[in-house]
Chains A and B, each alone.
Chain A
Amino acid sequence: MADVPLARHLLRAKDLADARYFEALTVADLASAAGLSPAYFSREFRRAFGESPHQYLLTRRLERAAALLRTTDRTVTEICFAVGLSSLGSFTTSFRRVYRSTPMSYRASFPPPESMIRIPACVAKAYGRPANRTFREVSDERVPVPSRSSTPDPSQEVMP
């Protein structure tokens, strides 16, 4: 049997973050899924995927929170806990840093869920995850938001 690339083990950790972000997952849990020690795991994960496991998990949670803000009417507090975060203050701070707006104003900038484009959930999840940001960044680029120029048309529905 061929040697399994290290990246295949790292991918198990990434899959775990994607699948169970709503639980109280830690970097140690992710390292365990990859079968590696936490310090070695974090270094190799960053090398393979270009960001730390903590950043990946946080941006996955923020992506899911953004999706819930766009597509449901659940409260910000409910959404914070629903994506596995335990501090509303940290959630709001992280959300503002990444999306450059508060959760409430982000929600208000979107039309009702009925007008969202129809794409497979896995595609939305993969492409919708934001890049992590710091407050120190000088760039004032807006975070790309899904285009809403087309109106839903059942005949153009994308099948997964």
Chain B
Amino acid sequence: MKIGNAQFWVHDQDEALAFYTQKLGWEVRSDVTMDEWNFRWLVVGPVGQADVGLVLMPVPGPPMLDATSSEQLGELVAKGAGGTLFITTDDCQATYDELSARGVVFNDPPTPQPYGIDTSFRDPSGNNVRVTQVMEFSYERG
């Protein structure tokens, strides 16, 4: 058993696509529009990890989700209750510098923790992305 794709709800797929490809430097894995469903299957993923992707799913409206629930879901994501993607890097500071230079606004600088060094940012919809350089556990560092 393996993880294939994980999924975030997004408010605007074009905006999300631009963020994940242009600012994070990820690649498009799939971008298929089903006109009759008014649906676009959009998957991105980090270069070098071809077997795991992130589905950028639009907050659905009727008939999949009633209008009230759709609005609530969109608002929950905007409040930051949509969830977190935990990603790892070999060099937290380098990733921070590289993404900052491309316009990603981080919530916190790379911070030493007992389990490594980590930092975080949000995507345009409010989804949280945690970036961790995993290191041997040490209370001295945190």
Interface on A for B, CB 8 Å cutoff? 1-2, 4-8, 10-11, 14-15, 18-19, 48-49, 71, 113-114, 118, 120-122, 154, 157, 159-160
Cβ-based interface call for B36 (8 A)? no
Minimum distance in angstroms from B21 CB to a CB of chain A: 16
**Contacts of B100-142 to chain A: CB distance below 8 A:** 107-108, 111, 113-116, 118, 120, 122, 125-126, 130, 132, 134, 137, 139, 142
Query: Which of B74, B84, B111, B118 lies in contact with A5, CB distance below 8 A?
Result: B74
Minimum distance in angstroms from B3 CB to a CB of chain A: 14
- Residues of B close to A5: CB separation below 8 A: 11, 74-75, 78
Interface on B for A, CB 8 Å cutoff? 11-12, 14-15, 74-75, 78-80, 84, 86, 107-108, 111, 113-116, 118, 120, 122, 125-126, 130, 132, 134, 137, 139, 142
B115 touches A15 (CB 8 A): no
Minimum distance in angstroms from B119 CB to a CB of chain A: 10
Query: Which of A2, A8, A118, A120 lies in contact with B126, CB distance below 8 A?
Result: A8
Classify the secondary structure of A's interface with B: helix
Classify the secondary structure of B's interface with A: mixed
A157 touches B137 (CB 8 A): yes
- Residues of B close to A120: CB separation below 8 A: 86, 113, 115, 118, 130, 132
| Complex: A9 Cα to B126 Cα, angstroms | 9
Given A5-B11, A14-B80, A49-B79: A154 touches B113 (CB 8 Å cut-off):
no
- Residues of B close to A113: CB separation below 8 A: 139
B79 touches A1 (CB 8 A): no
- Residues of A close to B118: CB separation below 8 A: 120-122, 160
Minimum distance in angstroms from B93 CB to a CB of chain A: 17
| Complex: A149 Cα to B90 Cα, angstroms | 34
Query: Which of B78, B86, B132 lies in contact with A11, CB distance below 8 A?
Result: B78
Given A5-B78, A7-B79: A154 touches B126 (CB 8 Å cut-off):
no
Given A2-B12, A11-B126, A159-B134: A121 touches B80 (CB 8 Å cut-off):
no
Interface centre among A121, A154, A157 (most CB of B within 10 A): A121
